[in-house]
Structure 1
Amino acid sequence: MSTPQSTTQATPASVPSGGLRAGTLGFPEVIGQSIANLSPTFTPSINVTAIAALAGAGTWLIYGLSTLGLLLVSMSIIALSSRIASAGSFFIYISRALGPMAGGIAGWGLIAAYVGTAMGVGAAGVVFVQNAFTAWGINIPSWAVYTIFVGLAWFFSARDVKLSSRLSLAIEAASVVIVGGVLIYVLALHPDHIIDHTQLGLQGVSGKGMAQGMVLGIFSYVGFESAASLGQETRNPLRVIPRAVVWCVILSGLFFMFVAYSMTIAYHDDAAKLGGDSAVLSTLLTSVGASPLGPVFYLIASVSAFSCVLACINSSSRLLYSMGRYQFVHRSMGMVHRTHQTPYIAVAFSSIVTFVVCIAMLGTGPLNTFGYTSTFATFGFLVVYFLVAIAAPVYLKKQGELKTSNVVWGVLGALAMVGAVIGSVYPVPDYPYNILPYLFVAYMLVGAVWLLMLKKRSPQVLEKIEHDLETSDVMTHGKK
């Protein structure tokens, strides 16, 4: 692989000179963005129960296979992020390789992915907050939690991305250490089960349950790539961002496997009981004789949920900023605050959409809101991961740097994402999850129609974009 000699951002000649604050983020802030968007604390709080209900004793293996699948995708992300540094990440990556129309489709899908994740995680935060305060006899309305979460996320994201990324990393690090400490204590209480033959032998595990569980397993990781959205604001991004992406997947995967394995032991290998528990943190603490700490742990989980909402707003706003600068969406999204140098219009738009949809779904309850919006968001991630797996070898071919390994990583990553999509629609899930794939297809068709209208009404816009991408590609990549 060639060593990059220089880096620049892709900026159309038609946009104003003001840009995001460059070179302010280091490795801790960048990996903090990915880890917060992925939100590893969600696995012991809510995700592991859903997978255990399907995969039983194979839950730990689901996380292992999901880690492997997303590492395959991350190889393609690394190939691109080590050569291209820009806000908008996948929108730019895929546009460079497959053309502006494909990039626009990817960007449209990723908007749904990031904003949908913000909605779903915000809803889960409502559950955590209410579980915590109900134990103290206090009722917190859902709308109040949404208001606080989204309002604070808007404030931090619009004011200072470095502050918000460090805050997210600190919150997630503290949460992981605390939850991990409890689970280590669980293993210490069951030394004879550390080598758990039920789990290692996959007793009672069905192929159907494993296939359906893979979809939820991949959802646990979505957002791991969001460090790439900070390419314009990162110091030495062509080196820092690839490291952040791959280490986020590896560290989170190891943590998820440990969580699934040890929590199944805590439930005495009764995966069905784990899968049906709606208050898993309380049960876990009761098993170690620390039940009074239940409300505190739910507060910790709620703070983690907030950090994930914040990371999603950061990511979606940077994507909208890049798309706005290229006029794929309204160009106001490309405006930068004069003082804070953040895409404040895009931040406000992402926050408002998140808040409005969550409030509109109050009647469904926070758990259903979490399920519906998170599933919808996952389709967006799967589409984009598939496209980036294809884009990487195509881009490297254009640069004259394609290797057999790049093709292998791309093909395997794309196949892993196709398998996840098939698992999400067959066997046919119950209503309303059975209609969510079609709603997502309808959403993507709206984006495709918009792009076709843009191509027909303003073909010069796409031509300028393609020319700009080719020109800035030479400057970004440096050595051909």
Structure 2
Amino acid sequence: MSAVIKPATTLRGSSLGFIETIGQSLANISPTFTPALNVVAVAALAGQGSWLVYGVASFALLFVGLNIAALAGRFAAAGSFFVFISRSLGPLSGGLAGFGLVAAYIGTAMAVLAGEAIFVQNALTPLGLTVHSYIIYVVTIALVGYLSYRDIKLSSRISVAIEIISVAIISIVLVIALVKHHQLIVDTTQLTLHGVTTKGFAEAIVLGIFSFVGFESAATLGKESKNPLKTIPMAILSSMIFAGIFFMFVAYAMVIAFGGDASKLGNDSAPLDTLLHVVGQSELVVFIYVIASMSAFACVLASLNAASRLLFSMGRYQFVHRSMGMVHANHQTPHVAILISSVIALIVPLSMLSEGPLNTFGITGTFATFGFIFAYFLISLAAPIYLHKNKALKARNIVFGSLGGIFMVGAFFGSVYPVPSYPYNVLPYLFVAYLGIGVAWLYMLKIRAPQVLIKMGQDLESQESEVFGRK
């Protein structure tokens, strides 16, 4: 008699190596997105100080990364921040961080989906072709949802391959531009921050942080990575440092490519097109935007992979509907969480079609950034507290936690004062209202189903065996 095959109840363990793990973080960062779109918004606000915006953002997030690495190097979890913060600050704080990150990852998918539409349209325009944004949205989400549902290893490898190719091509084009404008390589206007205002610089910091968000998403693969206690911290820190160096180079080089005119860069809706004309390679416009479209696709894929793993973990602890914690019998992927994430990521951009892809990108991307800032702030508190509880706290952990928290508070403050224009002036308050709904839900859960929190606390304690003796 043949053996009965039991359906899978957990994610496919130890299936991802370092390449796939760092691919998750790199794809979520989507380095190509900065020269293709984000640097324009930063230059419009910070002008000649754009390179420093990325420098400050990378410096601030380095401390956040060190805090994440301190926890990711001690135990592995599919829920990443949700579990990390729950162990340090309690289940309610962990649940709230989970809600914040769900908004962050799905919001990033929405924003990059809009960016995908911009890139595809820029690629087709020289060919005399047009395609409606809603078609791009639907096709992209359908493909991304299928790949995420089918195999995390396949989707991660596709993502890292796309990013390596696109970053290499854009770097070569920028180097050619620098050679063409060699007299501006030592650009005193940029180095002295000529004409940069405090208001513009502060507002640009939030956009600068958005370029990096998702660098921590490798932590959501804690149950699926090989040797996660070493692989994940290395992937998180390596991807963040690489992105910081690349973004500073991009901002500095692109201003030079635009003849040292940062305001011209800040008003260019197709900067890669202009860049190729500068280096005399205008015939590559279609190709370069196809590459940018592929990078955006990889970022949407990575964002939904991260969101679904987070919802999976929250579903397992019943912080959201338990169906989110279900695993596909054959593919061992959280198929219900993937479906829900994909549907939400599609509905919002479709409802904002009248706003256009560029406004959709800005609005959803800014909202998503608040989710990351909130989670980064909590992880900066959680890391030293967890280490203290486990008698592993060192002075440097206090410094990393304090600086990470201070920088995140500063980034949020910079988003509300000086007051930005509408609708960006209301987005911070909408995010606070969203968290308020999360607080109400969690307290209702505490009253109506206290066993959920008790079970979670006991389960987290029982999983301390997964902490591999790091000191």
TM over 0.5: yes
- Summarize deviations over 1:39-95 as a string: whole Å, max 9, x none: 010110011111111111111111111110000111100100000101010000000
Q: Quick check: 1:464 aligned with 2:455?
A: yes
SS of equivalent to 1:35 = helix
Taking the aligned partners of 2:349 and 2:56, their CA distance within structure 1 comes to: 32
Q: How far apart are 1:390 and its partner, in Å?
A: 0.1
| Pairing partner for 1:290 from 269, 281, 288 | 281
- Summarize deviations over 1:355-404 as a string: whole Å, max 9, x none: 11121111111111111111110110000000000000000011001111
Q: Is the CA contact (8 Å cut-off) linking 2:206 and 2:366 kept in structure 1?
A: no
Taking the aligned partners of 1:115 and 1:473, their CA distance within structure 2 comes to: 30
- Summarize deviations over 1:134-192 as a string: whole Å, max 9, x none: 22111101111001110111010001000000100001111000111100111111222
Aligned to 2:292: 301
Taking the aligned partners of 1:282 and 1:479, their CA distance within structure 2 comes to: 50
Q: How does 1:61-460 map to 2 (within 5 A)?
A: 61-460=52-451
Taking the aligned partners of 1:141 and 1:204, their CA distance within structure 2 comes to: 39
Structure 2 unaligned regions, length at least 5: 1-6
- Summarize deviations over 1:74-119 as a string: whole Å, max 9, x none: 1100100000101010000000100100000000000000000000
- Summarize deviations over 1:184-219 as a string: whole Å, max 9, x none: 111111222222222112222222222121111111
Q: How far apart are 1:32 and its partner, in Å?
A: 0.4
Q: Which amino acid aligns with 1:394?
A: I
Taking the aligned partners of 2:341 and 2:254, their CA distance within structure 1 comes to: 35
Taking the aligned partners of 2:289 and 2:158, their CA distance within structure 1 comes to: 19
Q: Kindly, what percent of the aligned residue pairs are identical?
A: 58
Q: Is the CA contact (8 Å cut-off) linking 2:166 and 2:292 kept in structure 1?
A: yes
Aligned to 2:46: 55
Q: Is the CA contact (8 Å cut-off) linking 2:79 and 2:311 kept in structure 1?
A: yes
Q: How far apart are 1:269 and its partner, in Å?
A: 1.0
Q: Quick check: 1:24 aligned with 2:8?
A: no
Taking the aligned partners of 2:123 and 2:389, their CA distance within structure 1 comes to: 54
Q: Is the CA contact (8 Å cut-off) linking 2:108 and 2:365 kept in structure 1?
A: yes
Taking the aligned partners of 1:446 and 1:152, their CA distance within structure 2 comes to: 32
Q: How far apart are 1:17 and its partner, in Å?
A: 7.2
Q: Which amino acid aligns with 1:447?
A: G
Taking the aligned partners of 1:387 and 1:366, their CA distance within structure 2 comes to: 32
Q: How far apart are 1:225 and its partner, in Å?
A: 0.3
Q: How far apart are 1:479 and its partner, in Å?
A: 6.0
SS of equivalent to 1:232 = coil
Taking the aligned partners of 2:105 and 2:328, their CA distance within structure 1 comes to: 22
Taking the aligned partners of 2:461 and 2:142, their CA distance within structure 1 comes to: 39
Aligned to 1:476: 467
Taking the aligned partners of 1:272 and 1:189, their CA distance within structure 2 comes to: 20
Taking the aligned partners of 1:408 and 1:375, their CA distance within structure 2 comes to: 28
Q: Which amino acid aligns with 1:466?
A: G
- Specify whether residues 452 and 17 from structure 1 end up closer, same or farther in structure 2 by C-alpha distance, changes over 3 A only: farther
Taking the aligned partners of 2:369 and 2:266, their CA distance within structure 1 comes to: 21
- TM-score normalised by L of structure 2: 0.97
Q: Is the CA contact (8 Å cut-off) linking 2:74 and 2:470 kept in structure 1?
A: no
Taking the aligned partners of 2:63 and 2:133, their CA distance within structure 1 comes to: 39
Taking the aligned partners of 1:163 and 1:280, their CA distance within structure 2 comes to: 32
Taking the aligned partners of 1:248 and 1:112, their CA distance within structure 2 comes to: 22
Taking the aligned partners of 1:228 and 1:32, their CA distance within structure 2 comes to: 12
Taking the aligned partners of 1:385 and 1:291, their CA distance within structure 2 comes to: 41
Taking the aligned partners of 2:105 and 2:150, their CA distance within structure 1 comes to: 19
Q: Which amino acid aligns with 2:322?
A: R
Runs of 4+ in 1 over 4 A off after TM superposition: none
Taking the aligned partners of 1:165 and 1:430, their CA distance within structure 2 comes to: 38
- Summarize deviations over 1:389-441 as a string: whole Å, max 9, x none: 00000000110011111011000000000000000111111111111111111
Q: Is the CA contact (8 Å cut-off) linking 2:121 and 2:131 kept in structure 1?
A: yes
Taking the aligned partners of 1:384 and 1:268, their CA distance within structure 2 comes to: 39
Q: Which amino acid aligns with 1:293?
A: L
Q: Which moved more, 1:425-434 or 1:153-162?
A: 425-434
Taking the aligned partners of 2:130 and 2:43, their CA distance within structure 1 comes to: 30
Taking the aligned partners of 2:371 and 2:435, their CA distance within structure 1 comes to: 9
SS of equivalent to 2:329 = coil
Taking the aligned partners of 1:412 and 1:120, their CA distance within structure 2 comes to: 28
Taking the aligned partners of 1:101 and 1:378, their CA distance within structure 2 comes to: 22
Q: How far apart are 1:349 and its partner, in Å?
A: 0.6
Q: Which moved more, 1:361-370 or 1:230-239?
A: 361-370
Taking the aligned partners of 1:396 and 1:153, their CA distance within structure 2 comes to: 38
Taking the aligned partners of 1:324 and 1:17, their CA distance within structure 2 comes to: 16
Structure 1 unaligned regions, length at least 5: 1-15
Q: Is the CA contact (8 Å cut-off) linking 2:16 and 2:153 kept in structure 1?
A: yes
- Summarize deviations over 1:13-36 as a string: whole Å, max 9, x none: xxx971000000011000000000
Taking the aligned partners of 1:49 and 1:371, their CA distance within structure 2 comes to: 12
